Structure 1
Amino acid sequence: MTEKPVVYACSGCSNVARIAHDISLNLDSDGIAEMSCVSGVVSDVEPVKAIATSGRKIIAIDGCQLQCTKACLDMAQVDTAHYFVITDLGIEKRDKWQDSLIENSKALNHVYQQLAEQGISFPE
């Protein structure tokens, strides 16, 4: 059995950051990926860094074009196999409390569909 991928999410303060974080939590709770802490990776916290460098596929989800999650992983020399930016889906970056269930659903469906096309989906 192949180990499930590790997912890292944006931890910013906007609606799209919240969407990225929520999708990562969903991937973890659905058993599709294991969510881990990107700040622990970049700050070299040994048990967290060990997960990132274990050879498992890495999923990174950023909220916007600042690409903070990807930059942290790149800085730690962690290769990202699957990468998503929520604003690339046409979702406008707004204040953290100005979110939309429709936008959240659109982003969640997109990420799940793209991962499924790459063979990453619900466990059997």
Structure 2
Amino acid sequence: MTDIPIVYSCSGCSNVARIAHDIALNLDSDGIAEMSCVSGVIANVAPIKAIATSGRSIIAIDGCDLACTKNCLDNAEVATSHYFVITDLGIVKRDKWQDSLSENSKAMVHIYGELSKHGINFTKR
């Protein structure tokens, strides 16, 4: 069994949702966290719910203050260890594909930096 955190992200239809999802994918591909499916958690899909309740640290990344990802985890009684909201970083929520690389980078640097303060980084492989 691994001890790296599990990451869940927003799956909405805005630029900030896309940023949240992109960062979760990057955390997974960088080996910093294992991305899993928040829909499977709330739907009680057995193998996915088992991952969520395995005792590993949970990272949740929402695009905006609607907090859909966090609410799904809360409703499934899965405690979140690290929580981020992209709009809290001053990034304005816009329609689907109106995103920018600089905003994505700003959010990624912030989230990676905050996780690193808690020992969650590239050295945790």
Normalising by structure 2, we get a TM-score of: 0.97
The 1:2–1:46 alpha-carbon spacing in structure 2 relative to 1, beyond 3 Å, is: closer
Partner of 1:58: 58
Structure 2 unaligned regions, length at least 5 = none
Corresponding residue for residue 44 of structure 1: 44
**Number of equivalent positions:** 124
What's the TM-score, normalizing by structure 1? 0.98
Within the alignment, does 1:11 sit opposite 2:36 as a pair?
no
> Structure 1 stretches of 5 or more lacking a match?
none
Amino acid at match of 2:99: D
- Write the mapping of 1:75-86 to structure 2, written as runs, cut at 5 A: 75-86=75-86
Equivalent position SS for 2:105? helix
1:75-114 mapped onto 2 (5 Å cutoff)? 75-114=75-114
Name the Cα RMSD after superposition: 1.1
How far off is 1:82 after superposition? 0.1
Cα distance between partner residues in 2 of 1:21 and 1:95: 15
Q: Which whole-Å CA distance do the structure 2 matches of 1:36 and 1:97 have between them?
A: 23
The alpha carbon displacement at 1:101 in A equals 0.6
Q: The residue matched to 1:84 in structure 2 has which SS?
A: strand
Separation in structure 2 between the aligned mates of residue 82 and residue 4 of structure 1, nearest angstrom: 13
Mapped partners of 1:115, 1:65: distance in 2: 20
SS where residue 83 of structure 2 aligns?
Answer: strand
Give a deviation string over 1:67-110, Cα, whole Å, max 9, x none.
00000000000000000000000000001110011000000000
Is 1:32 aligned with 2:32? Answer: yes
